[in-house]
Amino acid sequence: MDKIAVLDFGGQYAHLIANRVRRSGFFAEILLPQNLVDPAEELKGYKGIILSGGPQSVFAKESPQVDASIFELGKPILGICYGLQLIVHDLGGKVKKAGGGEYGESKLKVVGKSKLFTSVPKSSVAWMSHGDEVKKLPEGFEKTASTDNCEFAAVEDTKRSIFGVQFHPEVRHTAAGEKILANFLKICGAKKSWDLDKFLKSEITKIKKQVGKKKVFLLVSGGVDSTVAFALLEKALSKKRVFGLMIDTGLLRENEAIEVQRNLKKAGFENLKIVNEAGHFLAALRNITDPEEKRRVIGRVFLKVQRKVLKRLRFNPREWLLGQGTIYPDTIESAGTKNSDKIKTHHNRVEEIERMIEKGLIVEPLAELYKDEVREVGRKLKLPKNLIERHPFPGPGLGVRILCGESEKPKATNKIETEIYRKWKIRGKVLPLRSVGVQGDSRTFAHPVALFTASRDLEKLGSIATWIVNKFSDINRVVLSLGSSKAPRVFSAAPAKLTPSRVELAREADAIVNDILTKQKLYSKVWQFPVVLAPVFEKGGEAIILRPINSEEAMTANFARLPKTYLSAVTKKLQKLDGIEHVFIDLTNKPPATIEWE
């Protein structure tokens, strides 16, 4: 079988590269460079080699490396982001810190002729996420593309078939990305030998081998991932050997537990139990404000409840394995691969879970897949459309959509706000709270900027948002005020905790947002829609932040451009909620912002 090697340097999109190669019909295998004893010997059997991105600088002391002998193999090589920089650095060129980071959309301009850009427009949108850039090319290389902020956006050495791109062709937001990867695979001369049907057959065999004569106790949320995992485990093991447990954490959406039970029963899932543990979760989270600690606490409580139910049902722990609907973004964002940076800890990746995985006590049939692939597996397993196409909802639920913590005064506030007004004639206010972002494959925890303007031209405002996060390193999100277009003199943020009253307020706001979305027939136009409660105010209330996004695999995302009629209707209704003072919409793509705020 012809194979393409993907060397994983810890980039957020390493597995996404393999995903795209596989979806093109070619078999891709991910390898960790530090595990290669003799890289040139071990890689000579592959038709081509792709070097992934990564969070570190190539000139940093402990940055991941690979022996330069691979460049003499005569195999086509494609370096992406960090991979490009590694090629340039190792072959005698120069890489330096960029004057400013570049995150999100950039206009790619192809120069000259290159096999990599065959049938690619001379100008198109490409997706960037980098803080370093190439300053000088090695001997034998030439420039093949650039952007306004990056001279060497693509380079190549045609004699050695070595190619490098600073942008990410593997993400859907790079308009010609699929064609660029297809061109590289054509250069490699590989034959198609992969499809999702083969994955299903292989995974069923793998499940049977791992589980043996035991049974699987699966944590179910009603979301796409756990539902597809439930169906796949039942197909591999039979209905009698898979037990589904849904835990009502008290952090679910309005009527969520009832609707999930009804939908799953209707779809044929019979071996399912729901337990209400709201008091347990809320008590454990009462004094927790740090977003990472919240996720860890939720993960630990899930395990405690699972063990309690096992005991109550008199299930012998030795006869059962724990099943999870974990997909690959959960793993990579939790720093689940050797060189990756931790963006946020997913509740299904806390330390105790990791130890159980090492011991073979956890079954995760979807752990190598992305959301788009999971949906496709669901279709192949003939699951109902309403289950497959639900908006993703995080396991920690509203717990990570209710911001907690102390008020934090941003640095250089006046300078940032003044420069935004000077450039765009729009008032911007740096908010006194922080959220999680992902920039250059690394985690950021930075401040948002709120824009105040009567304009609802989301396309133009989105471009302004991209300029702001690229310009100011202290900023990783931009939101737009949907209520008042007049900026308050001062914004404050109160010390806030996860209380029952705040949970109920967030739940009510979430219900309003989704109800109007459904009534206006916009549900299918949005991939996911977090509704965030933030303790930021002018007069003492709180703010609701709308975060509608569109994506396919959750590793990259665009904010959804919702119509003015929707924004107006939802703002009007949210402002009637007792305690809600401001309504914002998040204008930030991923990167630089994560989908969730925590």
Give catalytic residue positions.
Answer: 81, 168, 170
CB atoms closer than 10 angstroms to residue 549: 24
- The alpha-helical segments, DSSP class H, found in 407-537 are 413-424, 458-471, 500-519
Contact 512, 542 (CB under 8 A): no
Kind and range of the H or E run holding 113: none
Instruction: Tell me the C-alpha distance between 61 and 58, whole Å.
Output: 8
Q: Is the dihedral of CA 365, 367, 368, 369 positive or negative?
A: positive
CA 358 to chain centre: 24
Radius of gyration over every alpha carbon of the chain, rounded to an integer in angstroms: 24
Look-up: residue for tokens 């796409």? 224
Both tokens of residue 543? 């703010």
Both tokens of residue 79? 């370096």
Residues near 593 by beta carbon (within 8 Å), at least 6 away in sequence: 435, 437, 438, 469, 476, 477, 586
3-state helix, strand, coil in the chain (%, to 5): 35, 25, 40
Contact 411, 452 (CB under 8 A): no
**Secondary structure (DSSP) of 387-423:** HHTSPP--TTGGGGTB--B---PPSSHHHHHHHHHHH
CB atoms closer than 10 angstroms to residue 318: 6
Task: Indicate the residue type of 329.
Answer: P
Please write down the HEC assignment for all residues of 356-379.
Answer: HHHCCCEECCCCCCCHHHHHHHHH
Contact 523, 517 (CB under 8 A): yes
Contact 298, 285 (CB under 8 A): yes
Contact 48, 24 (CB under 8 A): no
**Secondary structure (DSSP) of 231-267:** HHHHHHH-GGGEEEEEEE-S-SPTTHHHHHHHHHHHT
Both tokens of residue 107? 């206009």
